[in-house]
Amino acid sequence: MKLLLYSLVCFSFFANAQAPAKRIVLRNANVIDIKTGKVLSGTSLVIESKRISALGKNIKMQTGDSVVDATGKYVIPGLWDMHTHAFGKYEMAFPLLLANGVTGIRNMHTTAENPMQLLASIRKSLNDKTILGPRLVANGQIVDGEPAYWPATYIVHDAAEARIAVDTLIRSGGDFIKVYSNLSRDAYFAIADECKKRDFPFEGHVPFSITVEEAAMAGQKSIEHFTGLINASTAIEKELMQEEVKAMRSQSDSIEDITFRHIIAAQDGQKRTEVCRILAGRKVWQCPTLVVNEIGFDTLVINDPLVKKYMPASVYKSTLDMIKTITTESEAFFEISSKMSKLRFLLLQEMNKEGVPLLAGTDVGNPGLLYGFSLHQELALYVKTGLTPLQALQTATINPAKFFSWEKDLGTVEKGKFADLVLLDANPLIDIENTKKIFAVVANGRYLGRQSLDSLLAEVAVLARKN
Ligand SMILES: [Zn+2]
């Protein structure tokens, strides 16, 4: 393991250089102002001590500068995947993320045996620079009631246990609390109260026992995968929640369940608008993770050459299992799936119209998804839904910076900010697919040119066959 991680470091521009350049100059680039969509052509950037120290048309070179000719390239801020599960195979996940321009992640849970210990050790390795990776915000483990969905969950049964969970997870180094679907009302409101007292964020699923409005009023900072929202877009949200709890208790997880038919039949455009207005008013962030439903469950995903090459063998196996299950499903299953998918698209359109704050996230770690690559698919899905390419890019750049209150340091390409950047061969504002045409990535001031990125990918391709 040590050797491998060390070799990852060696692929970087800096580690290969005899003596690290004092400054890196990206000369004559098109810099995209991610707030307005304005393209600042003929702009040069200076990177010094991890930050953008200068930016403009007349940058004076200094002896010892390491100069990159960025003529014809488009510079955007480094991307964030705001919903990952990347710790299980981080030695593959991190290089794949970086190679795809993902310089920051919010990791939402790990099924590893000692999640908080693993989080601490990954943080230490990143800080000590024994591994390369994106900026990391992570909870370590989710908090759920019983039955819990995932291994390594922190299970709580009542309010008292929920308060202890918040205290324990904060002290173990979690950056936020992630609430999950089976929390009881008492436990959920105790978490909300405990977090409010400590001014500490709680994020995650809207539990089956809680309405979306209750979650918004309780101060939940983000909602993942639109949980609860398709129910809330009806006049019978509470009845549907009860049906879901019943289905969950009987361990029936078939999508053909009567519940889904009810949800689809009861959709109400007026209610959808109302709930979006509540979310916009309370500034409850939404992380749609469309790709996990749209592509993660597509049986054709297994034929994707990128999947064959870069998917860890363990995820590849779970993808094959998922495909096996899906291919035995009835026509009714596919009919309901496609209706649910349309409802998610409708929700996203309405949210965008009503000004609900959005975060790009994938839920990668799940079957069918690929670290880094899937974020580009997620952004393309937003554009397919009706967001402009600029709005889609904002969900992965300036919006995460706002979400974390890190706008002073991250989220745009401006003087003084951390140098987390992606250099593209073509303009992503014209075609969102251009985010895939990566010329170079700058991660925390470290320049990774195309050759270094390809080396990272090649290393993962070898590992993927073994893991
Ligand atoms: Zn997830």
373-428 pLDDT per residue, tens: 999 999 999 999 999 999 999 999 999 999 999 999 999 999 999 999 999 999 99
- What is the Å distance from ligand 1's center to 96 Cα? 18
Question: Model confidence at 1, in pLDDT bands (50, 70, 90)?
Answer: very low
Give pLDDT, residue 5: 37
- What is the Å distance from ligand 1's center to 84 Cα? 6
- What is the Å distance from ligand 1's center to 225 Cα? 8
In the DSSP assignment, the letter for residue 61 is P
- What is the Å distance from ligand 1's center to 146 Cα? 18
- What is the Å distance from ligand 1's center to 20 Cα? 38
- What is the Å distance from ligand 1's center to 68 Cα? 38
Cis peptide before 95 (omega within 30 of 0): no
Q: Say what percent of the chain tops pLDDT 90.
A: 79
46-104 pLDDT, tens digit per residue, is 999 999 999 999 999 999 999 999 999 999 999 999 999 999 889 999 999 999 999 99
User: What is the signed CA dihedral for 280, 187, 226, 244, rounded to 10 degrees?
Assistant: -130
- What is the Å distance from ligand 1's center to 36 Cα? 31
- What is the Å distance from ligand 1's center to 108 Cα? 6
- What is the Å distance from ligand 1's center to 363 Cα? 4
Angle at the Cα of 274 from the Cα atoms of 270 and 277, rounded to 5 degrees: 140
- What is the Å distance from ligand 1's center to 441 Cα? 26
- What is the Å distance from ligand 1's center to 364 Cα? 7
pLDDT at 15 over 70: no
Q: How far apart are CA 446 and CA 424, in angstroms?
A: 16
Helix (H, G, I), strand (E, B) or coil at 400: helix
273-282 pLDDT, tens digit per residue, is 999 999 999 9
Helix (H, G, I), strand (E, B) or coil at 282: coil
pLDDT at 22 over 90: no
- What is the Å distance from ligand 1's center to 109 Cα? 7
Give pLDDT, residue 413: 98
- What is the Å distance from ligand 1's center to 111 Cα? 11
Token pair listed for 58: 């007349």
- What is the Å distance from ligand 1's center to 61 Cα? 46
CATH architecture group of domain 2-76+411-466: Roll (2.30)
Q: Taking the domains of the chain in order of start, what are their residue ranges? A: 2-76+411-466, 94-403
- What is the Å distance from ligand 1's center to 224 Cα? 8
Cα–Cα distances (Å) from 72 to 27, 100, 427, 446, 450, in that order, read 10, 19, 9, 21, 15
- What is the Å distance from ligand 1's center to 365 Cα? 8
- What is the Å distance from ligand 1's center to 275 Cα? 23
Q: Say what percent of the chain tops pLDDT 70.
A: 93
Question: Model confidence at 313, in pLDDT bands (50, 70, 90)?
Answer: confident
User: Are β-strands 102-107 and 79-84 bridged in parallel, bridged antiparallel, or unpaired?
Assistant: parallel
Please report the beta strands in 319-425, taking only residues with DSSP state E, as ranges in sequence order. Answer: 421-424
- What is the Å distance from ligand 1's center to 139 Cα? 12
223-261 pLDDT, tens digit per residue, is 999 999 999 999 999 988 888 777 776 665 555 567 788
- What is the Å distance from ligand 1's center to 294 Cα? 15
pLDDT at 283 over 90: yes
- What is the Å distance from ligand 1's center to 107 Cα? 8
Q: How far apart are CA 194 and CA 204, in angstroms?
A: 16
In this chain, the answer to whether the domains covering 2-76+411-466 and 94-403 adopt an identical fold is no
Give pLDDT, residue 249: 67
- What is the Å distance from ligand 1's center to 85 Cα? 6
The answer to whether 296 and 381 are in contact (CB under 8 A) is no
pLDDT at 212 over 70: yes
- What is the Å distance from ligand 1's center to 286 Cα? 13
Region 178-191 average pLDDT: 97
Token pair listed for 180: 């999950």
Helix (H, G, I), strand (E, B) or coil at 387: coil
- What is the Å distance from ligand 1's center to 110 Cα? 9
- What is the Å distance from ligand 1's center to 375 Cα? 14
- What is the Å distance from ligand 1's center to 23 Cα? 39
- What is the Å distance from ligand 1's center to 83 Cα? 6
- What is the Å distance from ligand 1's center to 179 Cα? 11
Give pLDDT, residue 333: 81
CATH architecture group of domain 94-403: Alpha-Beta Barrel (3.20)
Identify the weakest region by mean pLDDT among 3-7, 56-60, 143-147, 214-218.
3-7
Region 425-443 average pLDDT: 98
pLDDT at 352 over 90: yes
Q: Taking all residues of the chain, what is their mean pLDDT, rounded to a whole number? A: 91
pLDDT at 147 over 80: yes
